Amino acid sequence: MNGQTLLIGIGANLAPDGFDTPRAGCEAAIARLAAHGIDVAAVSPWYETAPVPVSDQPWFNNAVIRARTVLAASDALAALHRVEAGFGRVRTVRNAARVLDLDLLDYGALLIEEDGMTIPHPRLHERAFVLLPLRDVAPDYRHPATGAAIDDLIAALPAGQQIRRAG
């Protein structure tokens, strides 16, 4: 498939209806992306992460997906939202516990500001749960706005984020 390379963050800390674990729901969501015009090329290993900001929520299961699509960035984001909705995601308050979160982290290394969409994701560089799995699927990644290499972004992460590779 031609088109753009996408980097997508995926995570959950609640199991969707019909699934035993949050990770099982995430894996099923990954399988559904192709039906929405997003072809998955690679999925990082899974990480278990404490909620950011810190709260009493359950820990998250997080990964990053490298994919390709011919969809425009806004259509790719809309497709991710449709997949989330199909798993019962209802957007309430920011940083709430959730059954599925699909974030469009990067679209073809482009800088995009339109219709409430900011690419690359505006908090990508602040989150260990994004950067560590991102390095697994895109070890040569450079932040499109700053040019910073992935290892430099990881080295500059704010302290105190709890993350571990899932077993």
Catalytic residues: 89, 98, 101, 103
Judge whether 25 and 69 are in contact, CB under 8 Å.
Answer: no
Q: Which of 134, 26, 65 is nearest to 157 (CA)?
A: 134
Cα–Cα distance between 99 and 21 in angstroms, integer? Answer: 10
Neighbours of 155 (CB within 10 A): 10
**Distance between CA atoms of 34 and 133, rounded to whole angstroms?**
21
Compute the C-alpha angle 165/43/140, nearest 5°.
Answer: 85
